[in-house]
Amino acid sequence: MNTTVTARPATTAEGSPLADRAAASAHNAIHSTQTAANAMLDRLDGQVDSAHDRAVPLINRLSNQAETTARRGVDAMRDTSAQIRERALKASDNTVGYIKDEPLKAMLIAAAAGAALMALLGLIGRSRSTD
């Protein structure tokens, strides 16, 4: 004798209180999760705002310091350039004065410097041709 028994869920006339409780529980869990997520996002938003508020003055201060340092560097270069220019003009004036005062010595010094330079270039030229 083969008999098959099937189980059917029990239902009541008022509906399924178990399903209603499960749905309410799921709704409460979703609401609790949303509330917790919103609270966490609010805390993170506050922390981001706080970090931003601390970072802006720091960035501004660093920017001002960099600008001041760059300005000092430009001023130092300008001063150094002016000093070098003044020294070059003074050396030129001294050279012209020496040539006017001692023309023969100046011509002999120039000839000796030219001869030394030509000898040096000759040595360099020979060493390159042997390589």
Quick one: angle between helices 17-101 and 103-130, nearest 10? 130
For 55, the token pair is 């970072």
Flag whether the pTM goes above 0.85.
no
Taking only the tens of pLDDT, the chain with its 131 residues reads 455 544 444 444 455 888 889 999 999 999 999 999 999 998 998 899 888 889 999 999 999 999 999 999 999 999 999 999 999 999 999 999 999 999 999 999 999 999 999 999 999 988 777 66
Distance CA 21, CA 37 (A): 24
